[in-house]
Structure 1
């Protein structure tokens, strides 16, 4: 199972750069890039902070994808 996110899509919708989002949630820009590319699993607090920025739920942003089902 791999973690997938909609962060890139939501950033584009809201015209936020990785740096903008990182600043809003208190992490480095690289962390946002790693989240978007599936190389980092966020803490619950970070996931909730990101969801708050986009005014949505954690479940709407983060989901697991079964790679073996492809």
Structure 2
């Protein structure tokens, strides 16, 4: 069996935009930036954003009042 891989490979535009939004929020407002639910379904990307200061939460009750929040789609 032959496997053909299309180029260029990478994330779809929506994933790129979601990552960019979290990174922009971190640059503009500083850490921490709370993210309601995983912003993308890629654990490596989520961990990378968490190392930069993003905090993923499942419940809005876990977000301190006055915090910067990004909601996933």
TM-score relative to the length of structure 1: 0.29
TM-score relative to the length of structure 2: 0.29
Q: Which has a greater percent of strand? A: 2
Q: Which has a greater percent of helix? A: 1
Higher relative contact order (CA 8 A, sep 6+): 1
Larger gyration radius, structure 1 or structure 2: 2
